[in-house]
Structure 1
Amino acid sequence: MNQFDLFRRLTGAENDPRSTDEIWQETASQPDFVDSRDCGLVDAVQSGWYLSESDELFKGFAISATDSVLDVGCGAGGATLFSANRGAHVVFTDVVAEKIESLKARVAQTPARKAEGFVSDSIPLPVAAASMSRVISMEVLEHVEDPAAFLRELVRVGQPGALYLLAVPDPVGENIQKNFAPGYYFQRPNHIHIFEREEFGRLVTDAGLEIVRRDSFGFFWTFWMFLYWSVAKQAGGEMEGTSHDVVQPPYPPILNDWAKLWHQVIKMPEAAPMKRALDQLLPKSQVIIARKSENG
């Protein structure tokens, strides 16, 4: 079963002669519709991501035109594009060739002073030692066979004093999902590691980096995934493929309702303390900003 089958089953559209895309476009064109991705972006900005005015990809992690930025496991390329739009030299890698080709075309439309995209599993990285001033790896470490070796390779390519932005799923939400998410979510090529918070920090310091700050965020997406697995189970059938690629629009109706509700909540300034508390209680991700020694 794929996301199109899931959407048609949960909307009662299995016998609708229209294409799934046509049905989804009708849903998305409703005046009160809120796309989960748009809500997620608003939520992320409120959590300190994509701060255009200060050129911070995440609070405390600024990007300038003088930086050379490596985005490992770039996926759709949000971090790469943010950096490219600041005029930085960007290098991006992923194991999926189609993602690299798509991102190359998008980066070509930005003021990046140089752009390089590579299909790579990251061990080794096709990047010279001590050449990057910013290194980004978000939601990748949980997929790799040897996290310590992966981090050592990230450290190899960083310049003395380079900043690192590292994120992995938070263990609280991951362990809750083990009670109802399908088994494949915790098997290759999906999440084969759950990092407890102390363990994540120790991996970073054992690789030779100094932790500058820690944070967590993403209650919206954690609860979104709880709902997703529940409705997928209701529909029956096993999903196929890498979870990040499977969990794409069209989304089931209850997820659209959740996005609409959360979007209304976070538009209220009075809700900010509640959002911060929930982001700490049940975050999607734990984040570390770290620094490589000036001595290399």
Structure 2
Amino acid sequence: MTPRRFLAKVFRRIAYEIDRSLFDQANAPATPASTASNATLTLTQDFDPLAVPLRDNKLAGWFNEERRELYTGFALGPDDVVADIGCGTGMHARFCADQGAHVILVEANEAKLNVTRARWAADNSKVESHLHSAIPFPIADGRCTRIVCNEVLERVEDTSAFLAELKRIGAPGARYLICVPAPFSERVLKNIAHPSYFEPPNHIRIIEPDDFRQMVTDAGLIVESESSYGAYWAIWWWLWWCDPQPSTAPRHPVLDHLAFAWNSLLDSASGPHIKKALDRCVPKSQVIVARKP
């Protein structure tokens, strides 16, 4: 299939899901009209594009302060020791620390780890950090009650050995939050991204949902829930390749306008339904919450 035909198939699927969502909405109880629907759409100077993905993630179940859940079904508190394996720039770990948990950071990229460490500049009493890129992890057997691993399995050579390490550091009954890229979004990127995106140390495999579940259960963990989210991020990454930016917080006009349009969508009367439809058909990530016996 040519890239052009593949992308046409992508957008036909998006259109189908939006139509289905709006049909569901039309047959649902009436809701008050959004005042935002009459607003003039202007990209003002005080608009913050970087706030939009956080808003979208929270609507998808991330960073729920009221329930103390990093993600739906993954609650934590002051009695927990959380290992964030491949912590990146530390948003997940910072949320865990804000709930009172002790946090162990493990990251192979020194620049990202330095950004993460900076989040604890004034309060480092409940955090440990390790610049580390191999197994075994620098964490004792059974030490952790919560383990976070966000979009790492698609990068490692031996997923079985890696998951065995995740299991090793978990205490009995430990909970796991494991995320990998969703295959549909990755296949679009195959037609858009530079080839290096799918070469070490980046993504070396596309993980199908059945394979993802099998990896986790083969490691001896019990899958408690499976979900997906992140249509905004899927589209963001597709558009990012219009003019790839080296910055960790790129501000390309195309991405700013996407953020503004998405924010306006979320403010609209049909926005929540359309977001759910897009998250169903074009998610950026798939998520498993699991438990160690």
TM over 0.5: yes
Partner of 1:9: none
For structure 1, the 5+ residue unaligned runs are 1-28, 233-238, 240-244
Q: 2:55 aligns with which of 15, 37, 42?
A: 42
Residue identity (%): 40
Q: 1:147 to 1:164 in 2, by over 3 A?
A: same
Q: 1:77 aligns with which of 78, 90, 96?
A: 90
Deviant stretches of 4+, over 4 Å: none
Q: 1:274 to 1:30 in 2, by over 3 A?
A: closer
Kindly tell me the number of residue pairs found equivalent between the two proteins: 251
Q: Which amino acid aligns with 2:237?
A: M
Q: 1:99 to 1:179 in 2, by over 3 A?
A: closer
1:161 counterpart = 2:173: yes
Name the CA distance, whole Å, in 1 between partners of 2:46 and 2:261: 11
Partner of 2:102: 89
**Displacement of 1:132:** 0.3
What RMSD, in angstroms, separates the aligned Cα atoms of the two structures?
A: 1.8
**Do the aligned partners of 1:216 and 1:283 also contact (CA within 8 Å) in 2?**
yes
Q: 1:58 to 1:75 in 2, by over 3 A?
A: same
Name the CA distance, whole Å, in 2 between partners of 1:158 and 1:221: 30
SS of the residue 2:63 aligns to: strand
**Displacement of 1:147:** 1.2
**Displacement of 1:98:** 3.5
Name the CA distance, whole Å, in 1 between partners of 2:247 and 2:287: 22
Q: Deviations over 1:151-181 (max 9, x none)?
A: 1100000000000000000001101221121
Partner of 1:33: 47
**Displacement of 1:257:** 0.7
- TM-score using structure 1 length: 0.80
Q: 1:247 to 1:226 in 2, by over 3 A?
A: farther
Partner of 2:79: 66
**Do the aligned partners of 2:90 and 2:115 also contact (CA within 8 Å) in 1?**
no
SS of the residue 2:48 aligns to: coil
Name the CA distance, whole Å, in 1 between partners of 2:58 and 2:112: 24
**Do the aligned partners of 2:221 and 2:290 also contact (CA within 8 Å) in 1?**
yes
Q: Deviations over 1:199-232 (max 9, x none)?
A: 0010000000010001100000111111122x22
**Do the aligned partners of 1:84 and 1:107 also contact (CA within 8 Å) in 2?**
no
**Do the aligned partners of 1:122 and 1:150 also contact (CA within 8 Å) in 2?**
no
**Displacement of 1:251:** 2.4
Partner of 1:98: 111
Partner of 1:275: 275
SS of the residue 1:133 aligns to: strand
**Do the aligned partners of 1:169 and 1:285 also contact (CA within 8 Å) in 2?**
yes
**Displacement of 1:271:** 1.6
Name the CA distance, whole Å, in 1 between partners of 2:48 and 2:271: 19
Name the CA distance, whole Å, in 2 between partners of 1:249 and 1:172: 24
**Displacement of 1:275:** 0.8
Q: 1:56 to 1:113 in 2, by over 3 A?
A: farther
1:196 counterpart = 2:216: no
After TM superposition, the structure 1 = structure 2 runs for residues 203-218 of structure 1, keeping only pairs within 5 Å, are 203-218=215-230
